[in-house]
Amino acid sequence: MAHNPLAPEWLSPPADANTLIDGLWPASAHRANDGAITIGGVSAPDLAARFGTPLYVIDETDARSRAAELRAAFDAEFARIGTTVKVYYAAKAFLSTEVARWMVDAGLNIDVCSGGELAVALAAGVAPGRIGFHGNNKSLAEIDDATRLGVGTIIIDSPIEITRVAAAAARHGAVQNVRLRVNSGVHAHTHEFLATSHEDQKFGVVFEDAPALVAAIRAEPSLNFLGLHCHIGSQIFGVDGFAESASRLLSLQADLLATGPVPELNLGGGFGIAYTSVDDPTPVRQLAAGLADIVAAECASRGIPVPVIAIEPGRVIVGPAGVTLYEVGTTKPVQVGENTRLYVSIDGGMSDNARPALYGAEFSVRIADRVSAADAALVRVAGKHCESGDIVVDADYLPGDVAPGDLVMVPATGAYCWSLASNYNYLGRPAVVAVVDGEARVIVRGETIDDLLARDTGISRSAHGVSTSSTSGEGSTSTTSEDVKETTR
């Protein structure tokens, strides 16, 4: 089919709009004989019938394997240069107690950035010593809890936190391991990185101030300085940005070693994933090798020992393991000049995937319950919110006979979708279902109307008269069904 001029330049018409593009989908995703997309051995129609839509689906084996493979790759590459790596899973990408346990099973630690994330990690049984605590404005209560509960490391983000953390640790008779987050001046997004001497942003301390602040940390008897930390951004392809930042941090490391020990260096997270057919993220093994080479070379040229390395990836572990399943409610061809764009409206939207509205992020889509021989049509997948920017997939091609009642799946929604979800327009946040070996189970249940009303002090909970089986609205599988779906139990 010919390119539709309304499509962005990067998007080519596919040879077959039913094909699941390599690299975008969970490892187990494929089309079964009946054409339905199957993940973890469970088909999309079965998932929709059992749990309703919208629904987040996560391939458990895939998430676990990505965590284990990432750890193995970094272990191997950094063993080659004579050191070890601590991998922290960045819980902000997606956190539930189950997922925290998967990460710990794979040998990862957990990076949290609020008292809420800390509570989930602890509820999962994560040993406090395996947790790193981030944040540019940790509350005094959060700092107190972290030092009292024995959180493994606290990442100090501003000068003022040095005395706060020191005082809290002293109060609890603890010696708290801390890192100092430094603004390396390197900021990266996808392919390009920007390096400035002094970046204007809220995270970390100014590079030039680090020596004096490390001296202040070392002077506190209740603090143990583990090393420097930097995080240069998210959804980054290639090694160059990380290499530049590592190089800057290691020059600082060399200076700091003159006055005391600096056993570790934390290089943050940010490894990118594919959301569309044209995204080409650097494979994890290649990233690990590139980073190990640069760390080894920088340490050798400065004559300093190679530190223990820490990293904090989130997206690359859970992003590709998750998909979102929706039901199509309406379709509407919109003529723009000579060309047509087909609007496909689904039963979720910016409340379950805020990334397109927040960042202009691109996603892809496929019909999930059948294949079709119809000619491909340029579609825009829109949500059901009262807002024109409520778009989930700005542009992709689907078989042109896509119709109300079809199920569609959006891949690569495992990171920063559920965790950024909202109740905009009083839609309930969807359930999260883990699939593995033909079994599906709810790991976070969906919100009901009762959940949404639970905090409103002016309403009697039973007074609304609306079906409690779902909050996603008319036409969704879960509201039209008579019986209460498993998501609400």
Which one-letter DSSP state was computed for residue 368? S
Minimum CB distance to ligand LLP smaller for 25 or for 271: 271
Which span sits near ligand LLP by CB under 6 A: 31-39, 212-220, 309-317, 431-439? Answer: 309-317
Place of tokens 């950024």: 420
93 in contact with ligand LLP (CB under 6 A): yes
437 phi-psi bin (left φ>0, alpha ψ -120 to 50, beta other): left
63 in contact with ligand LLP (CB under 6 A): no
CB of 155 to ligand LLP, least distance (A): 7
385 in contact with ligand LLP (CB under 6 A): no
CB of 435 to ligand LLP, least distance (A): 22
312 in contact with ligand LLP (CB under 6 A): yes
**Interaction with ligand LLP in 203-232: which residues (CB under 6 A)?**
231
* 3-state secondary structure (DSSP) of residue 398: strand
CA dist., res. 87 & res. 310, Å (int)? 6
Place of tokens 């209460």: 484
Strand locations in 68-125 (E): 85-90, 109-112
Place of tokens 């493994």: 152
- Exposed/middle/buried for residue 8 (C-beta within 10 Å: 0-12, 13-18, 19+): exposed
390 in contact with ligand LLP (CB under 6 A): no
Which residues are registered as beta bridge partners of 311? 87
Minimum CB distance to ligand LLP smaller for 315 or for 370: 315
Name which of 73, 150, 156, 159 is nearest 108 in CA terms: 73
Six token digits for residue 190: 């996808």
Q: Find the binder of ligand LLP among 138, 179, 355, 429 (CB under 6 A).
A: 355
Which span sits near ligand LLP by CB under 6 A: 249-257, 314-322, 369-377, 424-432? Answer: 314-322
- Exposed/middle/buried for residue 209 (C-beta within 10 Å: 0-12, 13-18, 19+): middle
CB of 434 to ligand LLP, least distance (A): 20
Residues contacting ligand LLP: total by CB under 6 A: 21
Q: Find the binder of ligand LLP among 83, 109, 222, 235 (CB under 6 A).
A: 235
Q: Is 386 a catalytic residue?
A: yes
313 in contact with ligand LLP (CB under 6 A): yes
CB of 233 to ligand LLP, least distance (A): 8
CB of 222 to ligand LLP, least distance (A): 24
Q: What is the dihedral of CA 394, 395, 399, 401, to 10 degrees?
A: 50
Minimum CB distance to ligand LLP smaller for 319 or for 446: 319
359 in contact with ligand LLP (CB under 6 A): yes
Residues 6+ apart with CB under 8 A from 19: none
Strand locations in 278-338 (E): 308-311, 322-336
Minimum CB distance to ligand LLP smaller for 268 or for 290: 268
**Cβ-contact 394, 358 below 8 angstroms:** no
Q: Spell out the alpha helix ranges (H) of 131-268.
A: 140-149, 159-171, 210-218, 240-257
411 in contact with ligand LLP (CB under 6 A): no
Minimum CB distance to ligand LLP smaller for 393 or for 407: 393
418 in contact with ligand LLP (CB under 6 A): no
CB of 393 to ligand LLP, least distance (A): 15
Q: From residue 119 to residue 158, what is the string marking binding to ligand LLP with x (rule CB under 6 A)?
A: ---------------x------------------------
356 in contact with ligand LLP (CB under 6 A): no
Longest CA–CA span in the chain (Å) reads 73
Q: From residue 242 to residue 281, what is the string marking binding to ligand LLP with x (rule CB under 6 A)?
A: --------------------------xxxx----------
**Interaction with ligand LLP in 73-92: which residues (CB under 6 A)?**
90, 92
Name which of 271, 247, 245, 205 is nearest 415 in CA terms: 271
Strand locations in 81-157 (E): 85-90, 109-112, 131-133, 153-156
Output the CA–CA distances (angstroms, integers) from residue 435 to 41, 44, 459, in the order listed.
Answer: 7, 11, 37
CB of 245 to ligand LLP, least distance (A): 12
Minimum CB distance to ligand LLP smaller for 281 or for 400: 281
Minimum CB distance to ligand LLP smaller for 40 or for 270: 270
45 in contact with ligand LLP (CB under 6 A): no
Q: What is the dihedral of CA 415, 78, 102, 147, to 10 degrees?
A: -90
- Which of 230, 299, 386, 417 is catalytic? The answer is 386
CA dist., res. 486 & res. 489, Å (int)? 5
Catalytic residues: 386
Binding site residues, ligand LLP, CB under 6 A = 90, 92-93, 111, 134, 231, 234-235, 268-271, 312-316, 355, 359, 415-416
